[in-house]
Structure 1
Amino acid sequence: MSDLIEKAVAALSERLDGDLAGSAKFVLGEEGSIMIDGSGVRAGDEDADVTLSAAPEVFEQILSGEMNPTGAFMSGQLTVDGDMGIAMQLANVLS
């Protein structure tokens, strides 16, 4: 598992308060993927209700607060495929 995935799993686990109303996957190119669901946050690449994809450096900027997730989406740096309601819940976790 890459350092970015490990760092992201730890950070998202701390920020996630309560259950997510479904499942989500962050795809970070060659770095790998992160799953978030009722079991928590972990490295993984399973099917999800929503898939968010970004370049690893973009995801790092979002995670650190340097980039707003909504701004990243609007500029095409973050793509969303699936349930937008769950994606909106994640925007709160990321910011």
Structure 2
Amino acid sequence: MSDALIDKLRRRFDPLAASGMYEVFQFHFTDADDHYLVVDDGRLEIHEGEHDKPSVSLNMSSATLKGVLSGEINGMNAFMTGRLKATGNVMLATRLTRLFADYKDSER
């Protein structure tokens, strides 16, 4: 995950959407180092590497993540076509766009 993408995620994180939530989103990228996001009651931490017990693990390219978060790629379509693979609590992946709702606005 590039530093620019990490910075963008931090800036666009919506703490209200994460209120009362404790989840770990593990990202295994095909073209970048692994990272995980810890969402803890309105707070976000981004770490490089692998978490011992993620809530959900997502495998994709960094471009697919950017596309899903910006709305250019439909997450369900990416999942059904194999561009995105998920294990664990797969339904959590659908919450990413709400947690980073302003992400699309940062692309302009």
Aligned residue pairs total: 92
| The structure with more helix, counted as a fraction of residues | 1
Work out the CA distance in 2 between the residues paired with 1:29 and 1:40.
Answer: 22
Segment drifting more, 38-47 vs 80-89: 38-47
Unaligned runs of 5+ in 2: 102-108
**Identity rate of aligned residues, in percent?**
23
Q: Which residue of 2 aligns with 1:74?
A: 80
State the AA in 2 paired with 1:40: E
| 1:86 corresponds to 2:92 | yes
CA displacement at 1:43 relative to structure 2: 2.6
Q: Which residue of 2 aligns with 1:58?
A: 64
Aligned runs of 1:1-95 on 2, under 5 Å?
4-18=1-15, 19=18, 20-37=21-38, 38=40, 39-47=44-52, 48-93=54-99
Segment drifting more, 44-53 vs 57-66: 57-66
The RMSD of aligned alpha carbons is 2.3
Larger Cα-atom Rg: 2
TM-score by length of 1: 0.73
TM-score by length of 2: 0.66
- 1:91 and 1:81, CA in 2 relative to 1: closer, same or farther beyond 3 A? farther
